[in-house]
Amino acid sequence: MNKLKQAMCWQLAGLAILFTFITPAIAQKYPVRPIRVVVGFIAGGTIDATARLVAQTLHETWGQTVVVDNRPGVGGNLGAAIVAKANADGYTLLMTSPGPVAINPSLMKLPYNPRTELAPITLVAFGPNVLVVPMSSAATSLKEFIALARGSSKRLSYGSSGLGSTPHLSTELLKMMANVDMVHVPYKGSNQAAIDLIAARIDLMIVSAPTVLGHIRAQRLRALGVTSLERISVLSDVPTFNEAGVPGYEAGAWWGMMAPGGTPAELIHKLQQAIAASLKTAEVSSRILASGAIPVGNNPRAFGEYIEKETSKWAAVIKRARITLE
């Protein structure tokens, strides 16, 4: 028995040594076949456009086909589940927003564990939210809007792209930090909410800047504040919430690349390096900045820590606001 155990130990040690040499070799040759980037939302949105931009840059870097596969459903969970259950070989990736990995765990039972079955690669871009009101609104600043909300004889209403969405939670966070009360009107998407906001059927929306940038420039909507800690270049005349009277407020959409849990660190590193390098190029960074977002490209550890921070923040908001999907 002792000899059998000893032999098994030697075999395991040998496999470990072999794997140590094989993994870097695989990473060096990677990719040798097409890569699939799963997006858990319909084509045409900001996350889809970001995924396609990254896919094109990876194709140009490696000369290998990179395909974007839209798998919409259950707030992005369907796409995340596909990647979570995929082979951890670097050929199936996920472009995610906060929902599937940082918000939905506090709202519903998931068919995957985002902490163990998905591995962070890099935060591709951060999309600051912007608070917009109809052009007919009496408020011309965030301070004026907060005063209006507090003093109105009727509760003001705000729109979002749905229960548990980033715009929904961002506005609930504002309600808590500014001590105001408003009625939530959920829509099936931000574009539908924007149409009703332009018509003044609702009073307010906090939404990612790329979604309403065209409406702001066309003077169909008025921007009162951006939710990043610093002003953004495409709306440089719009103050941050910190400047406008809600200190410490920060929220926004973001888009990051992830892989199945257990993907070799060498492959994760190679992917992160390639994506980060592309984000530094003038062409890619200018396209992201022009949309109202900010390119990032941090390392896997920093992205993982960011996801944990986001998860904790939104879990607290969901609990305090008593948000449920029932």
CA–CA separation, 67 and 10 (whole Å): 42
The predicted pLDDT at position 188 comes to 86
One-letter amino acid at 195 equals I
As a whole number, the mean pLDDT across the chain is 92
Query: Under a CB-based contact definition with an 8 Å cutoff, are residues 267 and 165 in contact?
Result: no
Instruction: For residue 297, name the pLDDT band (cuts at 50, 70, 90).
Output: very high
pLDDT on residue 61: 95
User: If you average pLDDT over residues 271-290, what whole number do you get?
Assistant: 95
Lowest-confidence segment of 83-92, 102-111, 203-212, 260-269 by average pLDDT: 203-212
Q: Tell which CATH classification among 3.30.390.50, 3.30.465.10, 2.40.50.140, 3.40.190.10 matches the domain 128-244.
A: 3.40.190.10
Q: Which fold has domain 34-126+252-321?
A: D-Maltodextrin-Binding Protein; domain 2 (3.40.190)
The yes-or-no verdict on residue 239 having pLDDT over 60 is yes
Over residues 82-98, mean pLDDT: 98
The predicted structure's pLDDT at residue 25: 64
Mean pLDDT of 212-232: 95
pTM of the model: 0.87
CB-based burial label for 179 (10 Å; 0-12, 13-18, 19+): exposed
For residue 93, the model assigns a pLDDT of 99
Residue-level pLDDT at 210: 81
Interatomic CA distance for residues 23 and 27, integer angstroms: 6
Residues of the chain with CATH 3.40.190.150: 34-126+252-321
The pLDDT confidence band at residue 31, using thresholds 50, 70 and 90, is very high
All CATH 3.40.190.10 domain ranges in the chain, comma separated: 128-244
